[in-house]
Structure 1
Amino acid sequence: MDDEAARRRLLLYSLARFGGLAIFILGIAIFYTDLVRPGGWPQVGAIVAIIGVIDAMFVPRLLKKAWDERDRLDR
């Protein structure tokens, strides 16, 4: 693998983690602030926060698994 491909993969991996973190923070904001409705919306905020955690934890792993399979097939 060349340096450009490794750099691109690292960027995508980091963006996937950051995206999950941003979704988690959005969920917390929905839970506690007047962002969606006055007084917060705990049910929706909790669901969005959980989705953000799942995204931050599993999407990078899925990306790595897909890249490993593609690298194995390219050999």
Structure 2
Amino acid sequence: MTPEDQERLAKSRFQMLQLLRFTGIIVMILGMWIWAGDILREGGWPALGIPLFALGLFEALVLPVILAGKWKSPPQE
């Protein structure tokens, strides 16, 4: 793999991790809004908002760590 290919791969992986974090935060905000706000029903809807918030939390905090660990290159000797 050429250095240009390695750089392109690293950039695309970095962008993927940032996209996961960003969309996870958006899902968390939407979940909180549904949970506590009056967007879907009066008084909020915790049965839908809490799982949505948890899904966004997983996507923003856990999934990027898992992917980064899988993509990490082996140590160079």
TM-score normalised over the length of structure 1: 0.77
CA RMSD after TM alignment: 1.6
Percent pairwise identity: 31
Q: Which runs of 4+ in 1 moved over 4 A?
A: none
Structure 2: where are the runs of 5+ without partners? none
- Equivalent residue in structure 2 for 1:56, among 49, 57, 60: 60
Q: Which has the greater radius of gyration?
A: 2
Question: Which sections of structure 1, spanning at least 5 residues, go unmatched?
Answer: none
Q: How many residues align?
A: 70
* CA positional deviation for 1:34: 2.2
Letter in 2 for 1:32: A
Range moving further from structure 2, 55-64 or 35-44: 35-44
Q: Is it true that 1:18 corresponds to 2:22 in the alignment?
A: yes
CA distances 1:6-42 after superposition (whole Å, capped 9, x unpaired): 1111100101111111111011110122222222112
